[in-house]
Structure 1
Amino acid sequence: MIKQALHAVAWRTEKVIDHIRGQRDTRRIIEPYIGYATPDHLVVRGRVLTSVRRNKLKPNQSRWTNFKQMFALFLTDEVANAEVSSSNVAARSDEEGYFTLLLPRDDRTGWIDVEVTVSGEHTTALCPVMIASDEADFGVISDIDDTMLQTGAYSLLRNLWTSLTGNIATRRIFPDALSFMSDLSAGGRNPVYYVSSSPWNLHHFLVTIFDKAGLVRGPKFLRDLGLSKTQFITGTHGDHKGNSIDTLLAANPDLPFVLVGDTGQHDAFVYHDAIKRHPGRIKAVVLREPGPGPDGQSRAVMSKIEKTNASLLHGPTFDGFATQLKPPAKAVNPS
């Protein structure tokens, strides 16, 4: 009862604030997210806001400045029910400003930019879309925190401190993650996707860190932490990751997948469930062991993964794992 009452108050408060903001600022701006492709569609994604915050990094700025800039990323003024369009296909943003456009797919592969317009506005945005190659050997779905990005997510306090007081210059990608993902992507032949419980507010922040470090580029599936009409935070950590995996396997029906994560947030549980839901589709599970390493429950689930048809690779780094995951060389027919 208390949770329901708090949710009702928070929901009404947010609606009042949104209404006031909507009267004060009528601008419509698109924040592009990286899209992906299914066998039939280009999935173009983004969010309609009244403004987009891009913090300017100052030399040697303090943790307090970092915190204020990170906090500002969550002060979004989203626009609901805005019509967006591209190539004669239109959609409307939801209550948190998010939109998805499903455009007909053609024969192109690789990276393309799709121009999207908000109806009634003069501004447009280019939304990038990654289209997997027809020659891909497998796809890769990777977690972000403590898998690619040094965070300390296995400790709640460490996670909050690192996330809220860092900036694009202080946050670090694991060096072994750079080479590992580069080897797995094989020069872009194999598609790479990132799934994280980090909020969509951090999309540009994460893209900037990835690009700065040289990490393989890929669509991100982040989490909506906003209020919905039925719950405080939309979905749980495990549900979000599991649903994203299901979506990506459906988008690439002919590809096996390598699932990459860590033992700090119980990715083994999520990946073991994915193996059961998609028999024969998971080629391997790769887990980094940060901090104290896997607890007893994670070790038990890892043992279950070893008894499936998926390979399990785990350790404090990813060094040497890419070699074990390379597909066998294709035989050459003598002429």
Structure 2
Amino acid sequence: MGLGKSLLRAAAIVEVAAERVFFQGDLERLTIEPYDGYATPDHLIARGRVLAAREVEKIDGRSKLANARQMMRLFATHEVADVTVTSGASSAVTDAEGYFTLFLPRTDQVGWVNVAVSISGHAAICPVLVARPDADVVVISDIDDTMIHTGAWSTPRNLWTSFTGNVESREVFADAVTLIRALSQQDRNPVYFVSSSPWNFHGFLTTVFARAGLPNAPKFLRDYGFGTDQFITGRHGDHKGSAIDRILAAHPALPAVLIGDTGQHDAQIYADAAVRHPGRIARVILRAPGRGADTDDLLQVERLRSLAIPVFVGPDFRPVLRELTPHRV
């Protein structure tokens, strides 16, 4: 679902056009779109977006043209800035794109904690994941061509796959599902997904992952910032690297397993993260889609290994699964 650099300008045009053509809603009635949050040692972090209420069509298994139309409707949102969102004594104000982040005091609860948030005339529940005290690692995975087949290494293939599929047709790799479930150890270890897909795809991805049997997990998607003052919030690698930094800071006692692919320079992003966080990266697992790992990827793999980090690179995850689940693979 990620968008390559050559698509960023087109994506801005898509969002503006989608709102003008497909938005059907009430600009006077506001709603909260909750995102899955996470916890730090000090806070529960609830996240979401305030939008004008709209009608949403179900994305079903019809023609590719109908799928494309309905995927376009995911961008047909009217964001609302400067709205105060509250939860108990905590509050936050939405930014220019309608996003908010609430910091609440930690409690003794673990697992998924439901945080009630509200604005004038509307309330919602923002789920927050609190890691269990017996967790051994934190699992951080890319999405595009790691979990879901998109062809992100090829711009035309990525665009076609992203905008003509639906929740039933999107291909989640079976080996990726097995890998995430094995590493999560029945939800003992927290899982996070990081992608350059826009936040507009949050609900879509959540549905696709649930259908595939993946554990629910917070996602760090990308704010493309299609406003008059900004275009995007940083580069692809900057976004992923920043997300990894925040996740590691939220779990200071846990090493991380990083999962990705060689199609979008994940090896370099992960090697840079390993340098910034010495001793925190337990292992790196990389799928090599399409044409496979190129020279730059292999150089970054060797850079990781020079830091004494075990790295797997291959067309699928079966060798890793044989190690983790020898009785099943």
Q: Under a length normalisation based on structure 2, what TM-score does the superposition of the two structures give?
A: 0.89
Q: Given the alignment of the two structures, is residue 198 of structure 1 paired with residue 197 of structure 2, yes or no?
A: yes
Report Cα offsets for 1:246-283 as digits up to 9, x if no partner: 00110100000001000011100100000000000000
Residue 106 (structure 2) aligns with: 105
Residue 80 (structure 1) aligns with: 81
CA distance 1:242–1:228, change in 2 (3 Å) = farther
Residue 141 (structure 2) aligns with: 142
Contact 1:110 1:133 in 2 (8 A): yes
Contact 2:36 2:129 in 1 (8 A): yes
Runs of 5+ consecutive residues of structure 2 not aligned to the other structure: 1-8
> 1:276-291 alignment to 2 at 5 Å?
276-291=275-290
Residue 42 (structure 1) aligns with: 44
Q: Which residue type is aligned with residue 69 of structure 2?
A: K
> 1:149-228 alignment to 2 at 5 Å?
149-228=148-227
Larger Rg: 1
Q: Which residue type is aligned with residue 130 of structure 2?
A: I
Contact 1:89 1:102 in 2 (8 A): yes
Structure 1 residue 323 displacement after superposition: 5.8
> 1:212-251 alignment to 2 at 5 Å?
212-228=211-227, 230-251=229-250
Contact 1:43 1:101 in 2 (8 A): yes
Structure 1 residue 306 displacement after superposition: 1.3
Runs of 5+ consecutive residues of structure 1 not aligned to the other structure: 1-6, 327-335
Supply the distance in 1 between the matched residues of 2:153 and 2:87 (Cα, whole angstroms). 42
Supply the distance in 2 between the matched residues of 1:285 and 1:199 (Cα, whole angstroms). 25
> 1:266-277 alignment to 2 at 5 Å?
266-277=265-276
Residue 71 (structure 1) aligns with: 72
Mean CA deviation greater in 224-233 or 283-292: 224-233
Contact 2:59 2:70 in 1 (8 A): no
Structure 1 residue 108 displacement after superposition: 1.0
Contact 1:137 1:255 in 2 (8 A): yes
Structure 1 residue 226 displacement after superposition: 2.3
Q: Which residue type is aligned with residue 238 of structure 2?
A: D
Structure 1 residue 83 displacement after superposition: 0.7
Supply the distance in 2 between the matched residues of 1:169 and 1:311 (Cα, whole angstroms). 35
> 1:257-272 alignment to 2 at 5 Å?
257-272=256-271
Aligned residue for 1:280, secondary structure, equals coil
Contact 1:228 1:234 in 2 (8 A): no
Residue 4 (structure 1) aligns with: none
Structure 1 residue 229 displacement after superposition: 5.6
Q: Which residue type is aligned with residue 268 of structure 1?
A: A
Supply the distance in 2 between the matched residues of 1:29 and 1:219 (Cα, whole angstroms). 21
Q: Given the alignment of the two structures, is residue 27 of structure 1 paired with residue 29 of structure 2, yes or no?
A: yes
Q: Which residue type is aligned with residue 83 of structure 2?
A: A
Aligned residue for 1:265, secondary structure, equals coil
Contact 2:112 2:129 in 1 (8 A): yes
Structure 1 residue 197 displacement after superposition: 0.1
Supply the distance in 1 between the matched residues of 2:174 and 2:218 (Cα, whole angstroms). 21
Structure 1 residue 300 displacement after superposition: 1.1
Report Cα offsets for 1:173-214 as digits up to 9, x if no partner: 100011110000000010000000000000000000001111
Supply the distance in 1 between the matched residues of 2:143 and 2:151 (Cα, whole angstroms). 11
Residue 53 (structure 2) aligns with: 51
Report Cα offsets for 1:64-115 as digits up to 9, x if no partner: 1011111111111011010111122111100100000000001111012111
Q: Which residue type is aligned with residue 192 of structure 1?
A: V
Supply the distance in 2 between the matched residues of 1:53 and 1:314 (Cα, whole angstroms). 44
- Identical positions, percent: 52
Supply the distance in 2 between the matched residues of 1:56 and 1:211 (Cα, whole angstroms). 16
Supply the distance in 1 between the matched residues of 2:321 and 2:175 (Cα, whole angstroms). 11
Aligned residues: 309
Aligned residue for 1:50, secondary structure, equals strand
Contact 1:263 1:290 in 2 (8 A): yes
Aligned residue for 2:28, secondary structure, equals coil
Structure 1 residue 309 displacement after superposition: 2.1
